[in-house]
Every structure is written in structure tokens, then in C-alpha cells.
Chain A
């Protein structure tokens, strides 16, 4: 299975969710800010990179995990990917694709911090703001990941 964590920019909430899923961020506690800031892809993808599938690693079952930013077209992109993935063969002959939508978890601190860092280039100001925003929504991110792990079916294309 191919697992895709999707959000607006592909560099904050989806990166955090993928890191939780892959074990790079803890599940038994809220991480420290430094741990969040050290995540792969965290606050590093700019607008030119939105849309690219960034490889995050393999889970315990060997499934490949990706991070995707779809800007404000997350819903239409998911709708398109359903039939387009079928062009690569029937589901019995190719890996299944699961897309976990992290966009609903986008909070104002994450949105604002992301804008300050990615759009304005003021990373020293924006990045910690995003990081603290991720910490505030961390329980919800964890719940999203665990909900996917319990039942991946609703996320399959």
C-alpha cells in the first residue's frame, strides 16, 4: 500500500502526521518543540514544491509513506486521483493508495506561522510559531493517525 498524508503545503500538519505514523515522533507524550522542528520536511517545502509526493519512509509492514501538499485543491485532487490511479492498472495488480487528509487539523498558528516562514521568508519568526501550533494540535494528529491505523478503508482511493 502507498500511504499519503496530505495537507495544504505538505510541510507542516502532514509532515507531523507522517512522522507520528513512522515513529519519528512519540505517541506516549507530546514532543518537545526541538523534536518537531527537527522533523523531515518540516517547514521546508515552498510553493514550487507543492504537489510533489515527498517520500517519508516505510512503515513496519513495508508500505511506502509519502507527504503531499495540494494547496486549497486537496478535495478535488483526491477526487481526481481515484480514477487516475486506476490508469496504472486494476487494484488487484498494483499497490493500493490511501490518502489521509490532514487539512482539517490546520490551525491558525500553523497557518500564520507557515505564511510567515514560507511566503515571507521569515523562518526565524514563523517556524517556531508553526512548531508550537503543531504541539497544540498534537493529540488530534495522533488521533488521526491511530484512526487510520485502526481502519484504513475509508482512506483508500
Chain B
């Protein structure tokens, strides 16, 4: 299964979520730093859309992908859901799970910023919910 973390606008929330999904034991400071390092490969955050990028595997065997574009998450979710059914004929387990919606990225926080802890918890909750969805989908 493919899990797509999509954030409308900046890529950073999707990166953080994918980082937590792939490395659930990584402390938040390390996850934040590694996400920022990866983000720097794309230039200043939010400068250009990232249409699709493979992030890597998760411990559960899913392949994680990232995307960021100006399209609202709800709009993409509805379109991708319909497209997935059209392309697969509605048969079997859907191959792509659009995780989200991601909490909006509120600004260029430093790692010690007070709001970071709360934001990190929102990301973790979303990733946990995604893992539950995967588990439910995988049940016969």
C-alpha cells in the first residue's frame, strides 16, 4: 500500500508526518531537524510545489510518499478517491491512502518554539490515525 502525505502549501507538515510514520521512535527534536534538512533540498519552504516524491518505507511495509501543492486537501481527497475507484474498478484494497488532513503549517518555528510541542502532537495523532486506517483496510 502507498500512503500519501499531502500538505496544501508548504511541504514541511507532510515531511514531519512521514518522518514520524517511518521512524516512530525518533524523538521530536531529531525528527524536526531531519525534516528541515530534507526540506532544504527543495529550497525555502513553500517556494515551489512538490507534486510527488517518494519518502521511503514504513515499519509496517507501506511506501510513503509526499506531495505539496496549492490544492486544498479536501478537494484533492474527493478527486483522488473517485479517481482511485475509476482506475481500480473499486476492486480489492485501494492501493493509495491519502492521509490527512495535516494540521496547517503556521510559520517558521525554531525547534524550541513553544507551539512546536503542540504541533508535533497533532502530527503524531494524524500518523496514529493513519496507521489505524491501514490496519482497518487490511482486515479481511
* B is bound to A: yes
Known A80-B69, A87-B65, A87-B95: A95·B77 in contact at CB below 8 Å: no
Known A53-B82, A53-B83, A64-B86: A84·B67 in contact at CB below 8 Å: yes
> B37-77, CB under 8 A of A: which get 1 and which 0?
00000000000010110000000000001010111101111
Residue tally, chain B, CB below 8 Å to A: 26
Which chain B residues border A83 with CB–CB below 8 Å?
51-52, 67
Beta-carbon contact of A84 and B80 below 8 Å: yes
Quote the shortest CB–CB distance from B2 to chain A (angstroms): 5
> B74-108, CB under 8 A of A: which get 1 and which 0?
11111110111011100000011000000000000
Beta-carbon contact of B79 and A79 below 8 Å: no
Whether B4 sits at the interface, judged by CB under 8 Å, is yes
B53 nearest in chain A by CB position: A83
> A38-79, CB under 8 A of B: which get 1 and which 0?
000000000001111100000000001010101101001101
Beta-carbon contact of B79 and A52 below 8 Å: yes
A52 nearest in chain B by CB position: B78
Beta-carbon contact of A77 and B79 below 8 Å: yes
Beta-carbon contact of A85 and B51 below 8 Å: no
Which chain B residues border A70 with CB–CB below 8 Å?
71, 75, 79
Whether A82 sits at the interface, judged by CB under 8 Å, is yes
Which chain A residues border B70 with CB–CB below 8 Å?
73, 76
Whether A94 sits at the interface, judged by CB under 8 Å, is yes
Quote the shortest CB–CB distance from B102 to chain A (angstroms): 15
Chain B residues 1 to 57 lying within 8 A of chain A, measured CB to CB, are: 2, 4, 49, 51-52
Residue tally, chain A, CB below 8 Å to B: 28
| A76–B48 alpha-carbon span in the complex (Å) | 12
Beta-carbon contact of A68 and B79 below 8 Å: yes
Beta-carbon contact of A73 and B72 below 8 Å: yes
Known A82-B51, A87-B4, A87-B65: A77·B76 in contact at CB below 8 Å: yes
Beta-carbon contact of A80 and B87 below 8 Å: no
A2 nearest in chain B by CB position: B86
Q: What are 10 A-B contacts with C-beta separation under 8 Å?
A: A52-B78, A52-B79, A64-B86, A73-B70, A73-B71, A73-B72, A84-B83, A88-B95, A97-B83, A97-B87
Binding site for A on B (CB under 8 A): 2, 4, 49, 51-52, 65, 67, 69-72, 74-80, 82-84, 86-88, 95-96
Binding site for B on A (CB under 8 A): 2, 49-53, 64, 66, 68, 70-71, 73, 76-77, 79-89, 94-95, 97
Beyond the given A51-B76, A51-B78, could you list 6 further A-B residue pairs with CB under 8 A, ordered by the A residue number?
A70-B79, A80-B71, A83-B51, A84-B80, A87-B96, A95-B87
